Amino acid sequence: MNTTPAPATTLQGFSRSESVAMAWPMIMLAVFFVIPFGTMLTISFFERVPGGFFEPGFTLESYARFIDPFFFKSLGMTMMIAASASVICLALAVPFTWSLSRMRHHSRVFWLVALLSILSLSEVIIGFSWSLLLSRSTGIGNILVWLGIENRAPKLSPGLGAVLTGLCYLGFPYAVLVLFPQLSRLDPTLHEAARMLGASPRRAFMNVVLPNIAKALVAAFIMVFVFTLGAYLIPQLLGKPQQWTLPVLIADQALFQSNLPFAAAMSIFLLGVSLSLVVCVGWLGRTAPHDQDDAHDDARSEEA
């Protein structure tokens, strides 16, 4: 809603100084966001010069390389790793976020600060610390030796398990923060009513809360999937070469194989996949039944 009447002289109801101020982000985004994507798209059609870099032209050669079984194998591995990590993340994040949304302000802030700190921790630090935690010399396997269960600590990294652990650590705070608005805006009387009618806390959660957030869960799954799909350092630090995901291959082609056109083509492909998934989330959000304004209007008194 627009309360200040627009001066007749300006376009679209903004004053001159407002328009100048808004031109700044628009120009910056156009130059440093839109044009780079255009450049990348253009380069993906350029011809590769073996031993050199690339030269202008138009060829679908880079896209034709997608038919290669090697590409399919790494694509399948990438999808499998991201999907498994997202499922594990959500399995942990849903009950956790449910508890979090029902905490008092101070403990809630404490957990949120911890989650944000971990979320913004560099992937290189996460990968490095988990490689220590899963290594033979400094790892958690030594607890087994100490307890006398094993003679020698197992070497858990690099491997698929290590990659999944690292990705779950990376994705967990993200999953919680995606779910947090949905769960904390959920009408608390729903759960209370179910409890009053005799349902156990778990049954009230499973039968009443969960169906209400089903769409939010699907949306959260897709968001976490796209997020873990983008991991670049963790597959390198915690995985073997066969667990290298698409982002690793893209960077490898661009920087070390000097094949920018192929890297750009793979990048456009990854863009297509993730963009269509994100559009699905937007579509889910529009049709979601939860009514934000209702939840807003009756901001409730504290519970539990």
Partner 1 sequence: MSRLLNRLFLGAIGLFMASPIIILLGVSVNAEKRLAFPPQGFSLRWYLELWNDAAWVNAISNSLLIAALASLLATSMAAPLAYGLWRRRTVWLRIFHAFGVAPFVLPPVITALGLLSFWIAVGGYGSFYSVVISHGVFLITLPLVTISLGLEAVNKEDLEAAETLGADAGARLRTIILPQVIPYAISGAAFAFVLSLNEYIIAYMVAGFTVETLPIKIFNSLRYGYTPAMTAVAIVFALVTALVFGLIGYFGDLPRLLGAWKSKEDS
Interaction mask 144-173, partner 1, x per CB under 8 A: -------------------------x--xx
Q: Which position among 74, 226, 244, 262 is part of the footprint of partner 1 (CB under 8 A)?
A: 226
Q: Which position among 12, 151, 276, 287 is part of the footprint of partner 1 (CB under 8 A)?
A: 12
Does position 242 interact with partner 1 (CB under 8 A)? The reply is no
Does position 84 interact with partner 1 (CB under 8 A)? The reply is no
CB nearer to partner 1: pick between 112 and 288: 112
Please report how close the Cβ of residue 19 comes to partner 1 at its closest, in angstroms.
9
Instruction: Output the 3-class SS for the chain.
Output: CCCCCCCCCCHHHCCHHHHHHHHHHHHHHHHHHHHHHHHHHHHHCCEECCCCCEECCCCCHHHHHHHCHHHHHHHHHHHHHHHHHHHHHHHHHHHHHHHHHCCCHHHHHHHHHHHHHHHHCCHHHHHHHHHHHCCCCCCCHHHHHHHCCCCCCCCCCCCHHHHHHHHHHHHHHHHHHHHHHHHHHCCHHHHHHHHHCCCCHHHHHHHHHHHHCHHHHHHHHHHHHHHHHCCCHHHHHHCCHHHCCHHHHHHHHHHHCCCHHHHHHHHHHHHHHHHHHHHHHHHHHHHCCCCHHHHHHCCCCCCC
Does position 121 interact with partner 1 (CB under 8 A)? The reply is yes
What residues from 54 to 83 belong to the interface with partner 1 (CB under 8 A)?
none
Q: Which position among 49, 80, 113, 280 is part of the footprint of partner 1 (CB under 8 A)?
A: 113
Residues sharing a CB contact under 8 Å with residue 146, sequence separation 6 or more, in sequence order = none
What residues from 126 to 145 belong to the interface with partner 1 (CB under 8 A)?
126, 128-130, 132-133, 137-138, 140
Residue type, 299: A
Does position 114 interact with partner 1 (CB under 8 A)? The reply is yes
What residues from 273 to 302 belong to the interface with partner 1 (CB under 8 A)?
274-275, 278, 292, 295-296, 299-302
Contact window for partner 1 (CB under 8 A) among 68-76, 100-108, 190-198, 210-218: 100-108
For residue 54, the cross-strand partners are 48
CB nearer to partner 1: pick between 12 and 242: 12
Q: How many residues bind partner 1 (CB under 8 A)?
A: 97
Contact window for partner 1 (CB under 8 A) among 66-74, 150-158, 213-221, 249-257: 249-257
Contact window for partner 1 (CB under 8 A) among 59-67, 88-96, 147-155, 190-198: 88-96
Does position 207 interact with partner 1 (CB under 8 A)? The reply is no
**Pick from 87, 107, 83, 129: which is nearest to 217 by CA?**
87
Q: Which position among 90, 237, 238, 244 is part of the footprint of partner 1 (CB under 8 A)?
A: 237
Does position 8 interact with partner 1 (CB under 8 A)? The reply is no
